[in-house]
């Protein structure tokens, strides 16, 4: 198959703009379907960047047929449960995740760099390293007759590069997508939620058994998300633990995924967060590098596909990271698009069919992440308790009410909740 794909003419290929999670997953899915493709990445080198990310069970199920799930499990933490706490360290609600919730595939907490590395290695091995072209920032695309699209590129210094003709172009180039900007030139900047987040990773002894995703507090007083993303990183059996601090703010921080933040911006809000099971303040202070980013998204678009050009992942539907679902939705996009191209051919009708299926589904997730993500459990308890410790959580809100918030989001996200205890692992 690799030899056949390498022999394909550029004009017969699908051009994938961006070598992130969505773009690399699409390359693997197209290869599996026998469709030639080439990936164009703006960065001169694909370097390990970022911090933690989650692959929810619906996304890991989509990755399994691509033959990369076992490799991902080896470098990730298989998450067993989600646990919600107030800012006093009191348990509010917990529920099993992944296989422990009855899903056939796991939820994985993983370093973004490890996820990208596994996908990139698979792409290079299967379709050829020469098909991942770095130093090519897409600056626009136009129709080239009825059966092709012409893409324009620039090098990292902004100098024009030779144009590329392809059978279709897929913008997987993130929230600042050049192709999205061309399709919607008057859209304006991303929508800021009024919240900034600071992120870091730190070696730490396993917390709550070492397989729990923790959410604590609420935005009005500070919210934390904490979970491990690598196991056994040293001789002491410590894990690499990812933390995210969210704070309501007067203005957004710089919108750059790799922008540095300061501990001084974070520590004061969490200085007294010392629980029986974790000293949150010490965890934050022990972090070497802090990244800062505004929590932003964009309004859902009426359509992504125009002729032989379409969008995917954050280029199509950037969402607030409150449901651990952005990467998962990009993966589902990629699988759906590959299926439509395999069924209909590399034609505009396939891109339109993909748009019709995925646009409506992801729009619901974008809006749910603004109003009723799983974290709404914390908001409910914060408001009902008056931000005070409680004697019993049942005196504040019923477990059934909190479970409904979690289940409703899973339905919106495309994950059918499983309540049958007999299917849960011990």
Check: CB of residue 316 under 8 Å from CB of residue 333: yes
Check: CB of residue 56 under 8 Å from CB of residue 204: no
d(C-alpha 14, C-alpha 310), whole Å: 11
d(C-alpha 333, C-alpha 346), whole Å: 16
Strand bridging mode 212-218 / 81-85 = parallel
Nearest alpha carbon to residue 39 among 148, 134, 145: 134
d(C-alpha 345, C-alpha 328), whole Å: 25
d(C-alpha 15, C-alpha 131), whole Å: 10
Check: CB of residue 200 under 8 Å from CB of residue 287: yes
d(C-alpha 160, C-alpha 267), whole Å: 45
d(C-alpha 176, C-alpha 194), whole Å: 19
Low-confidence ranges of the chain (pLDDT < 50): 1-8, 417-426
Specify the pLDDT at position 5: 39
Strand bridging mode 107-111 / 77-79 = antiparallel
Specify the pLDDT at position 230: 97
| Structural domain boundaries in the chain | 2-50+116-189+299-370
Specify the pLDDT at position 417: 47
Nearest alpha carbon to residue 18 among 204, 177, 222: 177
Nearest alpha carbon to residue 157 among 141, 176, 137: 137
Report pLDDT digits (tens) over 234-281.
999 999 999 999 999 999 988 776 778 899 999 999 999 999 999 999
- CATH level 2 (architecture), domain 2-50+116-189+299-370: 3-Layer(bba) Sandwich (3.50)
Nearest alpha carbon to residue 221 among 268, 254, 285: 268
Rounded to a whole number of angstroms, the CA Rg of the chain reads 22
Across 7-129, the runs of DSSP E, i.e. the strands, are 14-17, 37-40, 52-55, 77-79, 81-85, 91-96, 107-111
Specify the pLDDT at position 60: 97
d(C-alpha 50, C-alpha 143), whole Å: 35
Specify the pLDDT at position 257: 63
363: enclosing H helix or E strand: helix 348-371
d(C-alpha 42, C-alpha 8), whole Å: 23
């Amino acid at each position: 198959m690799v030899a056949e794909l390498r022999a394909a003419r550029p004009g017969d290929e699908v051009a994938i703009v961006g070598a992130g999670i969505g773009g690399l997953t699409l390359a693997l899915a197209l290869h599996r379907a026998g469709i030639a493709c080439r990936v164009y990445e703006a960065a001169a080198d694909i370097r390990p960047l970022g911090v933690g990310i989650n692959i929810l069970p619906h996304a890991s199920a989509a990755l399994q047929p691509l033959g990369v799930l076992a490799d991902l499990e080896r470098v990730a933490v298989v998450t067993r449960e989600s646990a919600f706490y107030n800012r006093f360290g009191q348990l509010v609600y917990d529920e099993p995740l992944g296989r422990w919730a009855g899903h056939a595939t796991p939820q994985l907490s993983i370093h973004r760099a490890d996820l990208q590395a596994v996908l990139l290695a698979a792409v290079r091995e299967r379709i050829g390293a020469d098909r991942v072209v770095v130093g090519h920032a897409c600056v626009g695309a136009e129709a080239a007759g009825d059966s092709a699209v012409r893409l324009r590129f620039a090098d990292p210094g902004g100098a024009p590069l030779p144009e590329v003709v392809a059978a279709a172009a897929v913008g997987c180039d993130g929230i600042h997508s050049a192709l999205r900007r061309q399709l919607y030139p008057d859209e304006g900047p991303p929508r800021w939620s009024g919240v900034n987040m600071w992120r870091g990773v730190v070696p730490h002894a396993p917390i709550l058994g070492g397989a729990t995703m923790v959410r604590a507090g609420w935005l009005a007083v500070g919210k934390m998300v904490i979970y491990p993303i690598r196991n056994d990183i040293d001789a002491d059996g410590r894990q690499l633990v990812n933390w995210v601090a969210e704070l309501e703010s007067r203005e957004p921080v710089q919108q750059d995924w790799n922008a540095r933040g300061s501990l001084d911006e974070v520590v004061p809000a969490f200085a007294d967060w010392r629980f029986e099971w974790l000293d949150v303040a010490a965890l934050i202070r022990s972090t070497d590098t802090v990244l800062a980013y505004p929590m932003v998204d964009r309004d859902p678009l009426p359509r992504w596909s125009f002729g032989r050009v379409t969008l995917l992942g954050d280029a199509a539907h950037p969402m607030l990271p409150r449901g651990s679902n952005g990467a998962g939705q990009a993966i589902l996009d990629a699988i759906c698009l590959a299926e439509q191209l395999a069924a209909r051919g590399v034609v505009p009708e396939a891109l339109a069919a993909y748009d019709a299926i995925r646009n409506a589904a992801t729009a619901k997730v974008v809006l749910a992440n603004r109003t009723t993500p799983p974290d709404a459990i914390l908001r409910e308890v914060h408001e009902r308790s008056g931000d005070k410790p409680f004697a019993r959580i049942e005196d504040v809100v019923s477990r059934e009410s909190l479970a409904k918030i979690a289940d409703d989001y899973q339905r919106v996200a495309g994950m059918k909740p499983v309540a049958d205890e007999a299917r849960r692992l011990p």
